[in-house]
Structure 1
Amino acid sequence: MAIKEYKGEEITVYFDGEICAHAAECVKGLPEVFNVKARPWVSVEKADAKKIVEVIDRCPSRALTYKI
C-alpha cells in the first residue's frame, strides 16, 4: 500500500495505512476531517491547519504526518 496524500491550501496530510495502529485519535479528534465512511476519508479543507496538526501529533503510530 502506498502512502496517500491529501492536499489542501495550507497543509498536506500523508497517510501510511501499513503502519496505522487504528487508535482512532484522528477520528475522535476531528471527525469532520477524518471520516472513515467518506471518500476520500481525509478532508483537509474542513478545519484549519493548526487544528489538523494538533490531532495528527496525537497519532501514536505516526501513520498520519503532514507538511505545512
Structure 2
Amino acid sequence: MDPKNLTKEYSNGEVTIVWKSGLCEHAAECVRHNPEVFKPREKPWIHAENSTTEKIIETVKKCPSGALTFYLNS
C-alpha cells in the first residue's frame, strides 16, 4: 500500500466522503469551509459525523484538486 496514493472513505450515514491522497494539493479549502469535519492534525482527519450532509457536499465541491468527492448512501 503506497501511503502517497491512498483512497479512504468517511461517512455520516447519509453521505460518504471519498479522499484520494495522490490527488490532494493541500489547498486547505476543505479545512477553511468545514473545520468541524476536516481536521488535518488528527487521525483520522475527516470526521463526517460532525456536519450536515448539505454542508459536506458544499465543501467537497470546493476542492480544487478533485481529491475529495462524495456519494450519497442509499
Q: Same fold (TM over 0.5)?
A: yes
Q: C-alpha root-mean-square deviation of aligned residues, in Å?
A: 0.8
Structure 1: how far apart are the matches of 2:32 and 2:17? 17
How many pairs are equivalent? 68
AA of the residue aligned to 2:61: D
TM-score by length of 2: 0.87
1:19-58 equivalences under 5 Å are 19-58=23-62
Unaligned runs of 5+ in 1: none
TM-aligned CA deviation for residue 21 of structure 1: 1.1
Mark the structure with the bigger radius of gyration.
2
Structure 2: how far apart are the matches of 1:8 and 1:47? 8
Unaligned runs of 5+ in 2: none
Identity %: 41
Partner SS state of residue 55, structure 1: helix
57, 64, 69: which one aligns with 1:60 = 64
TM-aligned CA deviation for residue 2 of structure 1: 2.4
AA of the residue aligned to 2:54: K
